[in-house]
Amino acid sequence: MNDKTEASALSSDATEVRAQKLKLLREQIGDVYPAHFHRTMTNAELAAKYEGLEPDTETGDVVTVAGRVYSSRNSGMFMDIHDASAKIQIFSHKDVTSEEARALLPMIDIGDIIGVTGVVRRTKRGELTINAQQITMLTKSLLPMPEKWHGLSDIELRYRKRHLDIMTNEESKLRFQQRSRIVSGIRRFMENDGFMEVETPMLHSVYGGATAEPFKTHHNTLKLDMYLRIAPELFLKRTLVSGLTDKVFEINRNFRNEGVSTRHNPEFTMMECYWAYADYEDIMDLVERLFSTLAMSIHGSTEFAFGDKQISFKGPFRRVPMPDAVKEATGIDFLAIKTDEEARAASKAAGFAVEKDATWGECLAFIFEEKVEGTLIQPAHVTHFPKDISPFAKEVPGEPRLVERFETYCNAWELGNAFSELNDPEEQRARMVEQLQQAHARGEKEKQLDEEFLDAIDQGMPPAGGLGIGVDRLIMLLTNSPSIRDIILFPARRNKAD
C-alpha cells in the first residue's frame, strides 16, 4: 500500500480518487470503518492537560486521540485533526511513526476520520503536537469537504447540508453549542425555581391553546384525524387542576401550518409554564430573572451585541400599558373612547386603515403593531391588552375592556406572552364558544370546542400566572443571529427540485 506509483495512478476526479482509495484500503487493511476504537481523551482535554508545556518539549506520555482531518502538509507529515472539542496537530516521521502507519498516509484525504496513538510534545513554535506512532483509518470520506476557510457561500446550501456548514464554519458550530446551553439553562433555571417539567401530547384530537392553522394527520388504528400540537396550554392547565404540582413547565415543540420568514418556522420551540397562586406581575419578574441568567451564562454579562445594537437584559425591564404606549406614539387616548365606532373613526382619522368591523380592542392592537412595536428595541413588557384579542386572561380591575396580559418585546420582536390566567369556568366556556364562532366564520370548520379541557376547568383550577416564551427568537438574540434558520439545526425548506 506504500507503493507511490499505485496511488499516483488513481483517477484525477476527486470523488473517484476517494472511491479507488477506499477499494485499495479494503484490499490492504480490511475494515475501513471499524466499530471499536477508544481514545484516551478529547482534543480539548489534551490541550487543557498540557497547557503549561513549554515549547520544544516532549513529555513521553502516550495518548490516543481521534478526529477528522482538516489539513495535511508535506505529504501528510503534518496533519490537523478536529474532534467536536478542538484541533490537534499530528506529526508523522520515520523516526517516530511505524512503517504501517506511514504507508497509510498517501491514502488519507481531507475529511477522513482517523485515530492516532503517539507521544505528546510541543513544537519549537508552540504547537501542541502528537508524534504519531500508530494511525488507524476509522472512516473514509467519499466526498471532498468544502474549502475550509470559505465554507459554504450558498446560504440555501448551508441549511440543506447543515453538516457541511458546521464542519466548515466555526461560528455556526458555536451557535448550535450555545443553543444547547441556552435550552439546558432554561430547564435548569425553571427546575431551580421550583417548577416541575412534564411532557404533554404532540398529537391532539382537538387542537387549541393558540390561534393558528394546524398540521393534520390520521391515526389508522383509532380511525381518527389528529393534529400536531400548536400549543401545550390546555394540557398544562389540566396539570394544575390535578394538584400534581403548583409550578409546571414544558419545553415543547409546536407545529403551525403557516408562513416561513426570518422569525417563523413551521416547527419551533417554546417554553410554556403555569404557576399557581401567582399573577402576571410575578411572571414578569420570572421573565426578567430568566433572561438575565441566560445572558450571563452565554456572555458573562447582561449586556450583549445584536447586530449594531447593544441589548441589556438587566432588570427591571420597562413596563408600559398598551393604551399608554399608543397614546404616547399617536396622541389617541383609547381609554377615553367608549365605542367601537368611535375607535374606528379615531383610527381612520389618524391615517390607520383598520377593518370596517374592527372592535375597540382590535383598533388599539392594530395601531400598537403599526406604530409602537417596531420601536421596542430594549426589552419591555407591554401590559393591559384588549380583552377582544385575549380570550384566556383575567380582566384588569376597574377596566373590563383590558386584561392582565403582557407580551415581552426586544429588538421589536415578541419574545413572550403571559396572562393572569382565566379560571372562571363559566367565563372560560363563554369566551371559548365565542372564539369558536369566530373561527368558523373565518372558514375554520374543523375547529372544535375542547370539552375535556372545559370539564377539567369545571373541577376547579387555582388562580395562576401563565407564560409562553419563543425559545428560538430568544436564542436568535443571544447568539446574534438575524434569521431563525441560523439557529434551527435543520430548518424547514423547499424540496431541492422546487
Q: Of 131, 160, 170, 141, nearest to 25 (Cα)?
A: 141
Largest CA distance in the chain: 92
Q: d(Cα 185, Cα 297) in Å, to the nearest integer?
A: 8
Q: What torsion, rounded to 10 degrees, do the Cα atoms 224, 227, 232, 237 define? A: -40
Dihedral over Cα of 350, 351, 357, 363: its sign: negative
Asked if 375 and 343 count as a contact pair (C-beta separation under 8 A), the reply is: no
Q: Are strands 399-410 and 395-396 parallel, antiparallel or unpaired?
A: antiparallel
Q: Is 209 left (phi over 0), alpha (psi -120 to 50) or beta?
A: left
Asked if 64 and 117 count as a contact pair (C-beta separation under 8 A), the reply is: yes
- Rg (alpha carbons) of the chain, rounded to whole number: 29
In SS3 terms, 455-481 reads as HHHHHCCCCEEEEEEEHHHHHHHHCCC
Residue 414 labeled ligand binder: yes
The position carrying cell 404616547 is 328
Residue 341 labeled ligand binder: no
Annotated binding site: 407, 414
Annotated binding site for Mg(2+): 407, 414
